[in-house]
Structure formats: structure tokens, C-alpha cells
Amino acid sequence: MGVCSPEYRKVVEDQENKVNQNSKDKFPVWGKIVSIAIIVGATIVFVLL
């Protein structure tokens, strides 16, 4: 199996797709922002009361 063989290219593309799929955020950015806002708000309420 040479570097230029179609089978090797397919294997490399499959590996790239797996890496790209794993690197995607599992939790969207807006969800992170909302979570942080809730935690900060709860902390402020806890400290003030």
C-alpha cells in the first residue's frame, strides 16, 4: 500500500473526519455563557444574603 494509493487516501480521510468530529464542542458557546451567568448570579446572591 503506497502513499498515493486510493485506499490510503480513504483511510486518512476517515481519520481526519474522526478527529474533526471529536474536536467539535459538545456544549454550544451560548450554553456555556448561560451556565457561567447562572453560577456567577447564584454566587453573588449567596454572598449578599
1-49: per-residue pLDDT in tens? 455 677 888 888 888 888 777 666 577 788 889 999 999 999 999 998 8
| pTM greater than 0.85 | no
Q: What is the pLDDT of residue 49?
A: 83
Long-range contact set of residues 4-13: C-beta below 8 Å, sequence gap at least 24: none
Q: Is residue 36 classed as helix, strand or coil in its secondary structure?
A: helix
